[in-house]
Amino acid sequence: MEFFFVRDYRLKYRFFSSEPEDEIQIKFSRWRELWEKAKEKLMLLPQRVLSQEKAFWIFLKNKDERVKIFYSGNLSKKRIKLKFYFFLQKQRTKHIFYLVGEILLLPLSALAALLPGPNVFFGVLALLIITHWKAMRGISRLRKKRGEFISLPLLEEWERAVMRRDEMKFLPLLEKMTREYGLKNIQKILWR
């Protein structure tokens, strides 16, 4: 499994994995229609958000002590480790706030039960809570692992183009990354 820590076109760091993009799998036996509709709404989130959540989820199963993380090489290893540490801290804090907000909204979803049909509002909130909870647990586990940061020239070229705002190079570089690293949704993660 390969992980990437790269800036997107807005100069924000994104963390994602090379694992093929699948839908987030959550299995429930009851209220199938509700969960299917809620999952449909959840999948409307931007791909850069879903891919990052999924990368955090992977660490719930990951038994390796070391984790390979590819980055651009524009920063020294010491500096990128520090950036990554603060990135994880920020993500953990965000997920805590998301969870608190979603849990506070959960009782309000009971009002939507008065409407005919399945309570999709409750279903979406429940799926968001599960997604953020698992991602937060994955972040906590990732913080305990030792990251091995490996620079890749193609990622360095991407970040330089982003820093210069050279949008003419964006698409060719993203297509090259798709071919070389097998990242099918890289355009949705790093660009649009």
Per-residue pLDDT tens over the stretch 43-63: 666 777 888 888 898 887 777
Say how far apart CA 39 and CA 33 lie, in whole Å: 10
| Partners of 70 in the β-ladder | 4, 150
DSSP 9: T
How many separate domains does the chain show?
Answer: 1
* Contact between 57 and 132 (Cβ < 8 Å): no
Flag residues of the chain having pLDDT under 50.
none
Q: Identify the pLDDT of residue 117.
A: 65
What is the overall mean pLDDT for the chain?
84
Q: Identify the pLDDT of residue 155.
A: 93
Instruction: Give the range of the structural domain holding residue 108, as residue numbers without chain letter.
Output: 3-190
In whole angstroms, how far apart are CA 31 and each of 14, 17, 23, 118, 142?
35, 32, 19, 8, 34
Residue with tokens 């959540």: 53
DSSP 6: E
- List, as one string, the DSSP characters of 109-129: GGGGGGSSS--HHHHHHHHHH
Q: Identify the pLDDT of residue 110.
A: 77
